[in-house]
Chain A
Amino acid sequence: MRLVEHLPALLVVVPLMAAPVCFVMRRPVAAWGISLLVSWSCLAMAVGLLALVMQGGPISYLLGGWAAPWGIEYRVDALDAFVLVIVAAIGAIVALAAKRSVEHEIPEERRYLFYAMFLLCLCGLLGMAITGDAFNLFVFLEISSLSTYVLVGLGRDRRALTAAFRYLVIGTIGATFYVIGIGLAYMMTGTLNMADLAVRLPDVAHTTTVQAALAFLVIGIGIKMAAFPLHLWLPNAYAYAPSISTAFLAGTATKVSVYVFLRVVLGMFGGTGLLKAAAVPDLLMVIALIGMFVGSAVAIWQADLKRSFAYSSVAQIGYILFGVSLLSTTGLAAGIVHLFNHALMKTAIFLALTAVFMRTGSVRIDALAGIGRRMPLTMVAFLVAGLSLIGVPLTVGFVSKWYLIQAAVEAGVWPAAVLVLLSSLLAVVYVWRVVEVAWFHKATEATMKVTEAPLTVVVPTWVLCAAVVWFGLDATGTMAVARTAASFLSQGIAP
């Protein structure tokens, strides 16, 4: 057997098989070792796939050897491979930092569970990105969601349980809506293969069944990606989950959901003409713009920094959706590249907060007084990622906003471009208030005793910060991938 041919399957199977091994062994350190090994090999496989796809075009893998529209097909094109790299990279970085943080926040007898769930979640997220079958996507969605509920519920704070339960209820509604939508589409076309659905849906687009399918899918996926009015599960889930879970989920879970939105709503329904007839783009743009402002504004008033940056994530999803709502190649490319950029900076921020929590036992803003001098490495990393969230030049945030505004101007929506800039000012406020407390407030007695976080947490944070600057200086690579993905998607959208 040639290993390269089987990369699409192995990428999902390796974490899937590693998870039960961790679960049966129940040894936290061994489980961490396995997670580290698996997540880095997933990263290597994902990068390999991306290289293959960029050279030779989409790859198709038939599970069980059953031919495509009938059997389950794994299909990797530029967009899939890009999302795979994002998820695997964040997983690998988080796995590096996980050991010390898990030891700090999760009781010993449950640590193995964290790693088992981390691997399952990784498997589910990678599977969602790789599969070309709409129902198989639902299965992976459930794998990742169920493990996410546990990852959230493992938090030491008892409120983590209510946050996880709330997410479970809302997330299940989202997943159910998704499966209802897919069911309705299946009813009219008799196929579950996404490429096949994209071909067959235009013929039946005039039926209410297909229109209802689109509505269910938009709402269902909207819940999963925490798009503005459907985001209520997210702040508490991120705030009360163990810090390291938050770092992983913030960089991956909502990103993959946005990918699903692109793949299902634009990819499958793009050719039907329903998107423009039903004013989906306009609606999406308004929601995205409101999300940017509401998310950022609420972030300013949160005392708990994890909550604050969770709300910031809602705003960032708004930026991505704004790019998507333009439905142009430039807009889609801006949205897709922001998937990657936001994953980098938000994971860096949450890793820095993980480090802070390890040393101070709190991520409330008043606990950070004067911490900038006590934990310089962590807080400078936080600052770099924070500047990127604002969109300062030399960081990836600038690249995203540059292309977003370019796309908005190209589409002739000047006011929206101005609003994107204005909402960035709100990011200045919620990042600056942390900077002010950390560097310009006097250290309290508690923070005087604080020392720098262990290197195993600081180094991964800095790796991400280095990536934030690197891809901010030279965005040709990421933009090339995003453009390829975007042009492929926009080709399928009916004018």
Chain B
Amino acid sequence: MRAKPVLRVSAKLLIPFILLFALYVQFHGDFGPGGGFQAGVIFAAGFILYALIFGVSNAQAALPPASRRWLMGGGVLLYAGVGVAGMLAGGNYLDYSVLGETPTGGQHLGVFLVELGVGMNVFASVATIFFVFAGRDVRRGEGGR
């Protein structure tokens, strides 16, 4: 694909906006349609487009297996950790109201962090599934297997 200038240029133009849109979906999820899952998939789509146009190995270099593993594990831990924080602050598990000064503020913060955890995990998982099918991970025996 590297020889096709139209594809290369348009991909370069599109990818930043895809990532930006993903961040919008992620952080605006409290107010409009969106949230961690959708944002994670869109963010991963940006990397997948990059891999399709510029090659899987370049995309792998931008997003090495170790970082994906940390994102995957870290996302779950962030989500579950917010729940535990609610417990430590005196509420039940996953009770966000006790996290902030006001219950509304606490709910805001809680959902924000939980969705961030979901976004991290979904992004890394979708990217890993793509890389495994694209073949590099299988040959090197790395990644999410």
A 15-40 binary contact with B (CB < 8 Å = 1; else 0):
01101110110100000000000000
A63 sits at the interface (CB 8 A): yes
Within 8 A of A (CB), among B58-92: 69-70, 72-74, 76-77, 80-81, 83-84, 86-88, 90-92
Q: Report A-chain residues with C-beta under 8 Å of the C-beta of B92.
A: 6, 9, 61-65
Contact indicator B73/A21 (Cβ below 8 Å): yes
In the complex, what distance in Å separates the CA atom of A23 from the CA atom of B88?
A: 25
Contact indicator A16/B80 (Cβ below 8 Å): yes
Q: Report B-chain residues with C-beta under 8 Å of the C-beta of A16.
A: 76, 80
Q: Report B-chain residues with C-beta under 8 Å of the C-beta of A64.
A: 86, 92-96
In the complex, what distance in Å separates the CA atom of A20 from the CA atom of B74?
A: 7
A 213-240 binary contact with B (CB < 8 Å = 1; else 0):
0000000000000000000000000000
Q: Report A-chain residues with C-beta under 8 Å of the C-beta of B84.
A: 13, 17
In the complex, what distance in Å separates the CA atom of A273 from the CA atom of B131?
A: 53
Q: Nearest-CB distance from B103 to chain A (Å)?
A: 10
Q: Nearest-CB distance from A463 to chain B (Å)?
A: 31
Q: Report B-chain residues with C-beta under 8 Å of the C-beta of A113.
A: 145
Contact indicator A13/B80 (Cβ below 8 Å): yes
Candidates B81, B90, B91, B94; contact of A17 at CB < 8 Å: B81
Smallest Cβ-Cβ distance to B107: which chain A residue: A64
Contact indicator B91/A9 (Cβ below 8 Å): no
Candidates A1, A17, A20; contact of B72 at CB < 8 Å: A20
In the complex, what distance in Å separates the CA atom of A21 from the CA atom of B80?
A: 12
Contact indicator B93/A20 (Cβ below 8 Å): no
* Max count, chain A CB within 10 A of own CB: residue among B77, B90, B91: B77
Number of A interface residues in the complex (CB < 8 A): 21
Q: Report B-chain residues with C-beta under 8 Å of the C-beta of A63.
A: 92-94
Contact indicator B87/A17 (Cβ below 8 Å): no
In the complex, what distance in Å separates the CA atom of A26 from the CA atom of B69?
A: 10
In the complex, what distance in Å separates the CA atom of A24 from the CA atom of B74?
A: 8
A445 sits at the interface (CB 8 A): no
Contact indicator B91/A24 (Cβ below 8 Å): no
Smallest Cβ-Cβ distance to A5: which chain B residue: B92
Q: Report B-chain residues with C-beta under 8 Å of the C-beta of A9.
A: 83, 87, 92-93
Q: Nearest-CB distance from A277 to chain B (Å)?
A: 40
Q: Report A-chain residues with C-beta under 8 Å of the C-beta of B86.
A: 64
Q: Report A-chain residues with C-beta under 8 Å of the C-beta of B73.
A: 20-21, 23-24
Q: Using A109-B141, A110-B145, A113-B145 as known contacts, say yes or no to A65 and B77 having CB atoms under 8 A apart.
A: no
* A-B CB pair tally, cutoff 8 Å: 58
Candidates B76, B95, B97, B145; contact of A20 at CB < 8 Å: B76
Contact indicator B145/A65 (Cβ below 8 Å): no
Contact indicator A6/B87 (Cβ below 8 Å): yes
Contact indicator B69/A23 (Cβ below 8 Å): yes
Q: Report B-chain residues with C-beta under 8 Å of the C-beta of A6.
A: 87, 92-93
* Max count, chain A CB within 10 A of own CB: residue among B76, B86, B92: B92
Within 8 A of B (CB), among A55-72: 61-65
Smallest Cβ-Cβ distance to A107: which chain B residue: B141
Candidates A1, A17, A61; contact of B77 at CB < 8 Å: A17
Q: Nearest-CB distance from B107 to chain A (Å)?
A: 10
In the complex, what distance in Å separates the CA atom of A107 from the CA atom of B90?
A: 44
Q: Nearest-CB distance from A258 to chain B (Å)?
A: 27
Q: Report A-chain residues with C-beta under 8 Å of the C-beta of B97.
A: 65
In the complex, what distance in Å separates the CA atom of A299 from the CA atom of B72?
A: 42
Q: Nearest-CB distance from A312 to chain B (Å)?
A: 33
Smallest Cβ-Cβ distance to B91: which chain A residue: A65
In the complex, what distance in Å separates the CA atom of A61 from the CA atom of B141?
A: 43
Smallest Cβ-Cβ distance to A64: which chain B residue: B94
Q: Nearest-CB distance from B5 to chain A (Å)?
A: 41
In the complex, what distance in Å separates the CA atom of A417 from the CA atom of B73?
A: 52
In the complex, what distance in Å separates the CA atom of A197 from the CA atom of B91?
A: 27
Q: Report B-chain residues with C-beta under 8 Å of the C-beta of A61.
A: 92-93
Contact indicator B93/A24 (Cβ below 8 Å): no
Q: Nearest-CB distance from A83 to chain B (Å)?
A: 20
In the complex, what distance in Å separates the CA atom of A6 from the CA atom of B96?
A: 16
Contact indicator A17/B96 (Cβ below 8 Å): no
Q: Report A-chain residues with C-beta under 8 Å of the C-beta of B91.
A: 65
Contact indicator A24/B70 (Cβ below 8 Å): yes
Q: Report B-chain residues with C-beta under 8 Å of the C-beta of A110.
A: 145
Q: Nearest-CB distance from B37 to chain A (Å)?
A: 14
Known: A16-B76, A21-B77, A24-B70. 5 other contacts (CB 8 A): A9-B87, A24-B69, A64-B93, A64-B95, A113-B145
By Cβ-Cβ distance, the 6 closest A-B pairs, closest first, are: A20-B73, A9-B93, A24-B73, A65-B95, A64-B94, A20-B76
11 pairs of residues in contact across A and B, judged by CB atoms under 8 Å = A13-B80, A16-B76, A17-B77, A20-B77, A23-B69, A23-B73, A24-B74, A26-B69, A64-B93, A64-B96, A113-B145
